[in-house]
Chains A and B, each alone.
Chain A
Amino acid sequence: MHLRIDHIAKSWDGQMVLDAVSFAARENEFVCLLGPSGCGKTTLLRIVAGLTAPDAGRITLAGRDITALPARERRMGLVFQAYSLFPDMTAAANVGYPMRLRRESPAKIAARCSELLERVGLGGLGARFPDELSGGQQQRVALARALATEPAMLLLDEPLSALDPAIRGQLRSEIRLLQRALAIPTIMVTHDQEEALAMADTIVCMNHGRIEQIGTPRDLYERPRSRFVAEFVGRANLLPTSFVRDTLPGFLERRPPGGEATYEFCLRPEDVLVQSDAHGEAVVEDFVFLGNLARVTVAWRGRRLLAELRGNSTLARGEAVSVEALRGAWVCA
């Protein structure tokens, strides 16, 4: 394992922010720390970067204990949310900054700067100042600067959240391509589940300073382990055991043993099949057309279910429909 985080704990003013968090990242792996604001993901990233010291625990990088190493000696490339470029330095000077601090030769710095700027798609813009660049371009410069010293790891702290949605999508795939091309182990913090699903090899889903689940994006979506993960990653209908017993008894056999309230059934909206049926038991309460898909709320046996249909289906409010469930997963309540 390249990076190993071992029982890291941190509290601010008596408030527990990280509660003995452990995980490991392989060489070349893209890990997303996903969670709502205040879940401790940014603190964990800052601890990895060496900007914040943990109260307890150990971090090893390629077998070496770096827990006590100050940030400047860790050789981590860090990209922030925004406003981290030096405003009175050109793009090229920003990229060359860490190399200048390491007293590399000017010729080498200049060559590396133009190589990196080329790499992030800013060839020819090296002489611009940050205020002459768009938000997306500024983040590209920040990315180039983070890569300047050939860091042991790339750390991204919500690098896309301050950008417009269109640029966000574009930069998302570019970062992923770059990361694969350079084969650099990367940790990205995000609160955007879509971003995490799209980019990560492994998602570490966090809540209240603890890890809820670690897995591939598909794992987290299809087999969420807890109610929190089910609701945070994607949309979910969460049904109590008694309701499943009455309406969908076929799913009961895969239910892990445990008390009535320990597990809930997670039914993704796209796994709810809603069909127009004059004898159906369910009634359409709301129908929202979203272009490629449509979101339908139906009332069925005293509960409301959310279903997603293809955009070309039409259902009217008040229409009688039949409901079927295709697949689902049991999660800890």
Chain B
Amino acid sequence: MTRARAPAAWLLVLPALGLALFFLHPLATVLWRSVTDTQGAITAGNYLRLFDDPGLPHAALRSLAIGIATTASCVPLGLALAMALHRSRLPGKALIRGALLLPMLAPSLVLGLGLVCLLGRNGLIHRLTGATTDIYGFWGLLIANTLYGLPQVVIIVSAALARTPARHYDAAASMGATPWRQFLDVTLPRLRFALLAAAFLVFTETLTDFGSAVVVGGNYRVLAMEIYSEVVGQLDFGMGATLGVVLLAPALLSVWLARIARRRQDSGDAMPGRMLLPARHAWRDAALGALSLVILLPMVAVVGTVAYVSVVKLWPYDRTLTLANYTSGMPDGYGPVATSLGMSLLAACAGSVLVFALAAGLRRAPRSIARPMQFLASLPAAVPGMVLGLGYVLAFDRGALSGWLYGGLAIVSFCSLYHYHAQAFLAMQTGMRQVPDALDDAVAVCGGGTGHVLRDAVMPFVAPAAISTFFYLFMRSMVTLSGVIFLVTPDLGLASVTVMRLDENGFLAQAAAYAMCVVLAGALALGAMRLILHVLKERRHVA
């Protein structure tokens, strides 16, 4: 006899099918392609060829170098910002939070674009001061990637800081620990795993980033650029796939280590107790304030420069202000922006429904089903966007599904959706954990079925997570570049890809205008999300 209350297994059918078809299948295709030749025979030739081209081992080393350097700069700076937010009495914390939102709205490509306009050979600084500036290469990549990674480090570290209850500090202070000793003995030990997780995240993102690599990388060619030129430049898909696998390996390793770190993480006390109010400490606040300024000023300057360039007549030669770049001067009109919006909307709608069904179906599923599904749902975090995108090209450009999928909006949406599947799933599952089990049983004894459970027990608790997931997928899809770069066709221009093309061809002002459209759409979405969540909080009766 089975359990009377059967877990709603049917909820899992569609999400599982989606993961198999649009994630596992393309991924397997990349792996398969890397070990076969053009005739389909199995060979190790692709991997041996890696060493024939002297450029490739160098590119791998450069990727590694930039990954390590970015991690080393991003993590301490992010820690400082998180400390400024949670362990200081600094005024104007809202400004810090606001500045940290910028990289979330602007793709790494836009940060790179801003950096070039500011510090490039013909950048604003050079124009204004005459100083020789050249941002292309290692330093440009380092700055762009660090700016891009900072908010994520701050989010992870802040969460851990908020979990440390005030009584630990009270205890340390009562035993005579100075503020500095309290930082070393109370704060840092409890941040170990958060810092580790943040480091792995930044390392993986930097390693697999394409946006800043293509704009500010210059002659400092990293692996992501090599994949791009193999596929787009030389149409050598086998080599592209092989490089993709090379890129996949460290990313997988890093995500795996981050998982271990998270599992060992101190989950905080069951009773967090009183919130910590940092003691008055003028020197600490002055130091953290100065540091925040030094870190965040470039952030604001870079995005600000993009905004400025977007309203300039002919960058950098004629800097009279004009709105022409947003009107007649747009080479492709608003088409790409509309396409991006449509694509993101589709990804957000399909994604939140699929992830909701998956998380709801797994709620009380037996471990034998829950464990592997959970692993599969989180695996996309370890797969670089470029590798997934390449998989889509290889898997869907021919074969049964190509006719109605390839070159369409849907395929680009799915690529973006499954690229960000892990984070969306995690957020939804965290929401699901708040639903008390007793409510399911209450529905059952009252005479309701799975539909009633979802509507009356699950939804009231999960609504905020579902809304956040929707907007998360929307905003990520608006700015995504690496995943979709191989999938766009001349008929199907996306805003982020248009920015890249215009930048490659030197139309910086027009590129900046498109970039600002993307940033604006993201900002509006963020505003809408906050408004909805706020209204929901007012109207809801869920703690």
Map CB proximity to B onto A17-59 as digits: 1 under 8 Å, 0 otherwise: 0000000000000000000000000000010011111110000
Q: Which residues of A contact B439 (CB under 8 A)?
A: 83-84, 86
The answer for the CA separation of A50 and B2 in the assembled complex, in Å, is 12
Q: Could you tell me if A72 and B541 are in contact, using CB atoms closer than 8 angstroms?
A: no
Taking CB atoms and an 8 Å cut-off, the chain B residues in 125-177 that contact chain A are none
Q: Could you tell me if A72 and B448 are in contact, using CB atoms closer than 8 angstroms?
A: yes
Q: Could you tell me if B456 and A86 are in contact, using CB atoms closer than 8 angstroms?
A: yes
Q: Could you tell me if A53 and B3 are in contact, using CB atoms closer than 8 angstroms?
A: yes
Question: What residue in chain A is nearest B455 (Cβ atoms)?
Answer: A86
Q: Could you tell me if B1 and A55 are in contact, using CB atoms closer than 8 angstroms?
A: yes
The contact of A80 among B2, B4, B438, by CB within 8 Å, is: B438
The answer for the CA separation of A149 and B3 in the assembled complex, in Å, is 24
The answer for the CA separation of A130 and B436 in the assembled complex, in Å, is 14
The contact of B444 among A71, A83, A89, A132, by CB within 8 Å, is: A71
Q: Which residues of B contact A49 (CB under 8 A)?
A: 441, 445
Map CB proximity to A onto B1-37 as digits: 1 under 8 Å, 0 otherwise: 1111100000000000000000000000000000000
The contact of A70 among B4, B442, B542, by CB within 8 Å, is: B4
A281 at the interface (CB under 8 A from B): no
The contact of B441 among A53, A77, A80, A102, by CB within 8 Å, is: A80
The contact of A84 among B2, B436, B447, by CB within 8 Å, is: B436
Given that A83-B436, A87-B541, A98-B447 are known contacts, is A68 also in contact with B1, CB under 8 Å in the complex? yes
Q: Which residues of A contact B441 (CB under 8 A)?
A: 46, 49, 51, 71, 78, 80, 84
The answer for the CA separation of A86 and B461 in the assembled complex, in Å, is 10
Instruction: Looking at the assembled complex, report how far the CB atom of A45 sits from the nearest CB atom of chain B, in whole angstroms.
Output: 11
Q: Which residues of B contact A97 (CB under 8 A)?
A: 446, 456
The answer for the CA separation of A149 and B446 in the assembled complex, in Å, is 8
Map CB proximity to A onto B499-543 as digits: 1 under 8 Å, 0 otherwise: 000000000000000000000000000000000000000001111
The answer for the CA separation of A102 and B448 in the assembled complex, in Å, is 9
Q: Could you tell me if B442 and A87 are in contact, using CB atoms closer than 8 angstroms?
A: no
Question: What residue in chain B is nearest A102 (Cβ atoms)?
Answer: B447
Taking CB atoms and an 8 Å cut-off, the chain B residues in 413-454 that contact chain A are 436, 438-439, 441-442, 444-449, 452
Given that A52-B4, A88-B460, A131-B541 are known contacts, is A82 also in contact with B446, CB under 8 Å in the complex? no
A189 at the interface (CB under 8 A from B): no
Taking CB atoms and an 8 Å cut-off, the chain A residues in 56-80 that contact chain B are 68, 70-74, 76-78, 80
Question: What residue in chain A is nearest B448 (Cβ atoms)?
Answer: A101
Instruction: Looking at the assembled complex, report how far the CB atom of B231 sits from the nearest CB atom of chain A, in whole angstroms.
Output: 50
Given that A86-B457, A88-B541, A145-B446 are known contacts, is A71 also in contact with B438, CB under 8 Å in the complex? no
Instruction: Looking at the assembled complex, report how far the CB atom of B374 sits from the nearest CB atom of chain A, in whole angstroms.
Output: 19
The answer for the CA separation of A297 and B16 in the assembled complex, in Å, is 66
Chain A CB count within 10 A is highest, among B4, B449, B452, for B4
The answer for the CA separation of A54 and B1 in the assembled complex, in Å, is 8
Q: Which residues of B contact A130 (CB under 8 A)?
A: 541
The contact of A87 among B2, B446, B460, by CB within 8 Å, is: B460
Classify the secondary structure of A's interface with B: loop
Q: Which residues of B contact A77 (CB under 8 A)?
A: 445
Q: Which residues of A contact B543 (CB under 8 A)?
A: 87, 131
The contact of B3 among A52, A74, A82, A83, by CB within 8 Å, is: A52
Map CB proximity to B onto A120-133 as digits: 1 under 8 Å, 0 otherwise: 00000000011110
Q: Which residues of A contact B2 (CB under 8 A)?
A: 53
Q: Could you tell me if A83 and B452 are in contact, using CB atoms closer than 8 angstroms?
A: no
Q: Which residues of A contact B444 (CB under 8 A)?
A: 50-51, 70-72
Question: What residue in chain B is nearest A100 (Cβ atoms)?
Answer: B446
A81 at the interface (CB under 8 A from B): yes
Q: Could you tell me if B446 and A53 are in contact, using CB atoms closer than 8 angstroms?
A: no
Question: What residue in chain A is nearest B367 (Cβ atoms)?
Answer: A13
Q: Which residues of B contact A68 (CB under 8 A)?
A: 1
Interface residues on B, range: 20 to 34
Q: Could you tell me if A83 and B446 are in contact, using CB atoms closer than 8 angstroms?
A: no
Question: What residue in chain B is nearest A148 (Cβ atoms)?
Answer: B446
The answer for the CA separation of A71 and B6 in the assembled complex, in Å, is 11
The answer for the CA separation of A46 and B440 in the assembled complex, in Å, is 13
Given that A51-B4, A71-B4, A80-B442 are known contacts, is A86 also in contact with B460, CB under 8 Å in the complex? yes
Taking CB atoms and an 8 Å cut-off, the chain A residues in 268-309 that contact chain B are none
Question: What residue in chain B is nearest A49 (Cβ atoms)?
Answer: B445
Q: Could you tell me if B1 and A51 are in contact, using CB atoms closer than 8 angstroms?
A: no
Q: Could you tell me if B445 and A76 are in contact, using CB atoms closer than 8 angstroms?
A: yes
Question: What residue in chain B is nearest A131 (Cβ atoms)?
Answer: B541
Q: Could you tell me if A87 and B542 are in contact, using CB atoms closer than 8 angstroms?
A: yes
The answer for the CA separation of A54 and B2 in the assembled complex, in Å, is 9
Q: Which residues of A contact B460 (CB under 8 A)?
A: 86-88
Question: What residue in chain A is nearest B463 (Cβ atoms)?
Answer: A88
Q: Which residues of B contact A78 (CB under 8 A)?
A: 441-442, 445
The answer for the CA separation of A88 and B458 in the assembled complex, in Å, is 11
Q: Could you tell me if B542 and A88 are in contact, using CB atoms closer than 8 angstroms?
A: yes
Given that A84-B436, A84-B441 are known contacts, is A50 also in contact with B4, CB under 8 Å in the complex? yes
Chain A CB count within 10 A is highest, among B436, B441, B449, B461, for B441
Instruction: Looking at the assembled complex, report how far the CB atom of A159 sits from the nearest CB atom of chain B, in whole angstroms.
Output: 11
Q: Which residues of A contact B447 (CB under 8 A)?
A: 72-73, 98, 101-102, 149
The contact of B438 among A76, A83, A102, by CB within 8 Å, is: A83
Chain B CB count within 10 A is highest, among A77, A82, A88, A129, for A88
Question: What residue in chain A is nearest B436 (Cβ atoms)?
Answer: A83
Taking CB atoms and an 8 Å cut-off, the chain B residues in 306-330 that contact chain A are none
The answer for the CA separation of A81 and B4 in the assembled complex, in Å, is 21
The contact of A51 among B5, B452, B456, B540, by CB within 8 Å, is: B5
Taking CB atoms and an 8 Å cut-off, the chain B residues in 58-104 that contact chain A are none
Given that A52-B3, A97-B456, A101-B452 are known contacts, is A71 also in contact with B541, CB under 8 Å in the complex? no
Chain A CB count within 10 A is highest, among B436, B438, B439, B461, for B438
Question: What residue in chain A is nearest B441 (Cβ atoms)?
Answer: A51
Q: Which residues of B contact A98 (CB under 8 A)?
A: 445-447
The answer for the CA separation of A71 and B446 in the assembled complex, in Å, is 8
Q: Could you tell me if A82 and B1 are in contact, using CB atoms closer than 8 angstroms?
A: no
Q: Which residues of A contact B542 (CB under 8 A)?
A: 87-88, 131
Q: Could you tell me if A82 and B445 are in contact, using CB atoms closer than 8 angstroms?
A: no
Question: What residue in chain A is nearest B444 (Cβ atoms)?
Answer: A71
The answer for the CA separation of A70 and B436 in the assembled complex, in Å, is 21
Q: Which residues of A contact B541 (CB under 8 A)?
A: 87-88, 129-132
Q: Which residues of A contact B452 (CB under 8 A)?
A: 101
Question: What residue in chain A is nearest B542 (Cβ atoms)?
Answer: A87
The answer for the CA separation of A130 and B1 in the assembled complex, in Å, is 37
Q: Which residues of B contact A87 (CB under 8 A)?
A: 460-461, 540-543
The contact of A82 among B438, B456, B461, B540, by CB within 8 Å, is: B438
Question: What residue in chain B is nearest A87 (Cβ atoms)?
Answer: B542
The answer for the CA separation of A89 and B541 in the assembled complex, in Å, is 8
The answer for the CA separation of A146 and B444 in the assembled complex, in Å, is 12
Q: Which residues of B contact A70 (CB under 8 A)?
A: 4-5, 444
The contact of B445 among A52, A72, A81, A129, by CB within 8 Å, is: A72
Instruction: Looking at the assembled complex, report how far the CB atom of A145 sits from the nearest CB atom of chain B, in whole angstroms.
Output: 7
Q: Which residues of B contact A80 (CB under 8 A)?
A: 438, 441-442
Given that A71-B5, A86-B456 are known contacts, is A51 also in contact with B446, CB under 8 Å in the complex? no
Chain A CB count within 10 A is highest, among B442, B460, B461, for B442
A-B CB contact pairs (8 Å), 24 listed: A46-B441, A49-B441, A51-B441, A51-B444, A53-B3, A53-B4, A70-B5, A70-B444, A71-B441, A80-B438, A80-B441, A80-B442, A84-B439, A86-B457, A87-B461, A87-B540, A87-B542, A88-B460, A88-B540, A97-B456, A101-B452, A132-B541, A145-B442, A149-B447
Q: Give the interface of B toward A (CB within 8 A).
A: 1-5, 436, 438-439, 441-442, 444-449, 452, 456-457, 460-461, 540-543
Extra A-B contacts (9), CB below 8 Å, given A70-B4, A74-B445: A51-B5, A51-B444, A71-B444, A72-B447, A73-B447, A84-B442, A101-B447, A101-B448, A101-B452
7 shortest interchain CB distances as A-B pairs: A98-B446, A84-B438, A129-B541, A83-B436, A72-B447, A80-B438, A71-B444
